[in-house]
């Protein structure tokens, strides 16, 4: 298990505090701080993932539970899309991954509220970061990072005109969140509500 770079300062400070209390006050006083350190390390874990091969596969952009699969009108265009919503709790891996190779056509940040990311209204009302990817088959796939009630920091490391590849790590959301995909209606979806999936390695759909 690897530690995400976003977690280095948090883990370092927590471990340093726990170690200092252990040294000067003893194990009993330090124990809660060691527990907090372990929680921080597990939250920022970033395991290596084996990305499936094939240009036609769509992988999950995040670890979590599928809480919505439905056809909607594209809020960022005029077409009909399939919306897949994935809820990440505090024990999920919070690194985000590119669902399918292509070119970033648009990146936009939308300010908003911080409702619980398990609630459907968070999709339209919470703070979020939107990526629109032009795929190799000339379709548009939208990937949305959504902050939650605790998450107050969305990190995104790709920008417009960047070329990205399936499974590529592109961002991180701190402390509980939601990630959504809007897929072209003609794409096949292979997940259902209630499924638990892993980012970068679990196939959730196909362009075929």
What is the distance of C-alpha 182 from the center of its chain?
14
Q: What tokens appear for 89 in the block?
A: 């709790």
Cα angle 110, 170, 91; round to 5: 85
Cite the active site residues.
Answer: 177
Q: How far apart are CA 93 and CA 88, in angstroms?
A: 8
Picking from 76, 201, 78, the residue whose alpha carbon sits closest to that of residue 133 is 76
Query: Residues 183-192, buried b or exposed e (16+ Cβ, 10 A)?
Result: bbeebebebe
Q: How far apart are CA 60 and CA 58, in angstroms?
A: 7
Query: Residues 31-57, buried b or exposed e (16+ Cβ, 10 A)?
Result: eebbeebeebbebbbbeebeeeeeebb
């Amino acid at each position: 298990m690897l530690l995400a770079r976003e977690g280095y300062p948090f883990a370092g400070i927590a471990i340093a505090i726990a170690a200092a209390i252990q040294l000067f006050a003893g194990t009993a006083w330090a124990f809660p701080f060691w527990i907090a350190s372990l929680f921080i390390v597990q939250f920022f874990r970033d395991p290596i993932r084996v990305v499936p091969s094939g240009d036609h596969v769509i992988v999950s952009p995040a670890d979590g539970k599928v809480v919505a699969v439905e056809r909607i009108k594209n809020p960022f265009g005029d077409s009909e899309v399939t919306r897949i919503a994935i809820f990440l709790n505090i024990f999920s891996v919070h690194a985000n991954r590119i669902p399918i190779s292509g070119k970033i056509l648009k990146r936009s940040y939308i300010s908003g509220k911080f409702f619980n990311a398990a609630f459907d209204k968070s999709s339209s009302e919470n703070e979020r970061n939107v990526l629109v990817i032009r795929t190799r088959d000339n379709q548009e796939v939208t990937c949305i990072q959504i902050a939650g009630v605790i998450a107050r920091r969305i990190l995104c490391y790709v920008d417009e005109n960047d070329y990205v590849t399936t499974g590529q790590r592109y961002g991180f959301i701190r402390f509980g969140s939601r990630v959504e995909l809007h897929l072209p209606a003609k794409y096949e979806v292979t997940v259902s509500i209630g499924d638990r999936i892993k980012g970068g390695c679990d196939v959730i759909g196909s362009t075929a």
